[in-house]
Amino acid sequence: MTSSTVLPAPSPGPSAAAAPESAPADRSADAAQLTLADDLLTLLRTSTTEPRPDEQLQALTLAVAADLPVLLWGEPGIGKTAALTQLAASLDLPLTTVIASVHEPSDFSGLPVVGDDPAVQGVPMAPPQWAVELVRAGRGLLFLDELSTATPAVQAALLRVVLERRVGALQLPPGVRIVAAANPRASAADGWELSPPLANRFVHLYWVHDPDVVVRGLGGVWPRAQLPRLVPQRLVEAVDFARRAVCGFLRARPTLIHRLPSSETRRGGAWPSPRSWEAALTLLAFATAASVSREVLALLVRGAVGDGPGLELLAHLDRMDLPDPESLLADPASADLPVRGDLRQAALEAVVAAVGARPERQRWEAGWAVLARALETGAPDLLVAPATTLAALRRDEWEVPQSVERLAGVVGLARRAERSVGRAAAAGGGRASGERR
């Protein structure tokens, strides 16, 4: 006969018995750790700002102040979005971010809403919520992100938003500024080239990282965006100067008024048109009234009309700042010459050209006096080319003035002047001999 043995059930161990009681404690500990993690993240995300020269940020802020749409180009992760977030916070503007690539054309042109009698009342285009909130706020910074990954249909719908500030049937208030960001097509996710009509509505700024700014920013201190300090007394002067500069330049270079680039890639950037020249004029007026640096002005002008036309306009501005050569010849002793080397040489060459246009002994001597004045106030190497040309203008009966002797030790002008006399005499003798023959 087989007997069965019933074994007693094992008694629960200490851990099993304590499990129901310790679970709430564990959850409480986990919650406390998450709170600490949030506190640590808050400390990591806390930073301050400081006034720091930053040409990119100054150009962006001035274009925003001028109420011109700006497009920031840059590789992924370069800090475009962070710069816009910090700009909105510095200017105390509500930031509205719209990812263009995840929207449909109707999100910008408006959704049709059929009413009771559409044949009489029409079909209004209802705007999206973000546009309604911007109108309700009356001001803000509209950030159109990932613009180069938006389809051509979405880009077409954005034309009225960027230029006319209309979203469906809704008009955005004047206090709303527009800034967009895009990656180059090669580094964009399923990217498209910008259409020429949309590209021509923006001021294009190319965002690059400054190692010093990045290192100091990761340490908790970022540069502060500040609106340009416009001088009230210079507003009328700034507008007059900008109009004279742009109109004078386009009169001399009419082929640059409208020039659509031949390549698709360049059409998606800055290029000259009447619209973009108007933007350049506006930026030049703001830059003049705020007395920004030439580097910042160069970023803005090239971002409006393209590199080539922009650089030509900057060269034209330099020529506008040159002193009148006739004024320098009239009073050489008090001649106020530009400090920058290229402008100083251009001014001296203009003086020599003025003498050559009307060569008279008194004007020739005044030209040497201007060069002597330039020797007193600047580098002597800039005098060689204009002095050589001026020496060649000497007539036989003109004596070499003392101012040439003062310059002879630097550039050997007296010897050049004597050689020019000899060449002139030889040429005159040859002509006389030919006449006798």
DSSP for 124-189?
Answer: -EEPPHHHHHHHHHSEEEEEEE-GGGS-HHHHHHHHHHHHT-EETTEEPPTEEEEEEEE--GGGST
pLDDT score recorded for residue 142: 94
Other Cβ atoms closer than 10 A to 30: 10
Q: Which residues of the chain have pLDDT under 50?
A: 1-7, 15-18, 413-414, 432-433, 435-437
Rounded CA-CA distance 128/132 in Å is 7
Q: What is the CA radius of gyration of the chain?
A: 35
Contacts of 265 (CB under 8 A, 6+ apart): 185, 193
pLDDT tens figures, 214-239: 898 888 888 888 888 999 999 999 99
Q: What is the DSSP string of 357-393?
A: HS--HHHHHHHHHHHHHHHHHS-GGGGHHHHHHHHTT
C-alpha–C-alpha distance, residues 406 and 402, integer Å: 7
Q: CA 365, CA 399: separation in Å to the nearest integer?
A: 9
CA pair distance 362, 359, nearest whole angstrom = 9
DSSP 8-state secondary structure symbol assigned to residue 234 = G
pLDDT at 16: 47
Q: How far apart, in whole angstroms, are the C-alpha atoms of residue 69 and residue 131?
A: 17
In degrees and rounded to multiples of 5, residue 248 shows phi and psi of -65, -40
Position 188 scores a pLDDT of 59
Task: Give φ, ψ of 165 to 5 degrees.
Answer: 60, 40
Is residue 325 within 8 A of residue 351, CB to CB? The reply is yes
d(CA 81, CA 145): 8
Q: How far apart are CA 331 and CA 315, in angstroms?
A: 27
Cα separation, 144 vs 231, in Å, equals: 31
Helices 341-357 and 307-320 pack at an angle, to 10 degrees, of 60
pLDDT of 190: 62
d(CA 108, CA 161): 7
Helix or strand run (H / E) with residue 112? strand 111-112
Query: Based on the number of CB atoms within 10 Å of its own CB, is 60 exposed (0-12), middle (13-18) or buried (19 or more)?
Result: buried
Q: What is the pLDDT of residues 150-181, one digit of tens each?
A: 888 899 989 989 988 988 888 999 999 999 99
Nearest to 237 by CA among 245, 228, 248, 249: 245
Distances from the Cα of 287 to the Cα of 142, 229, 243, 250, 290, angstroms: 23, 10, 13, 19, 5
Residues 6+ apart with CB under 8 A from 343: 318, 321, 322
pTM: 0.73
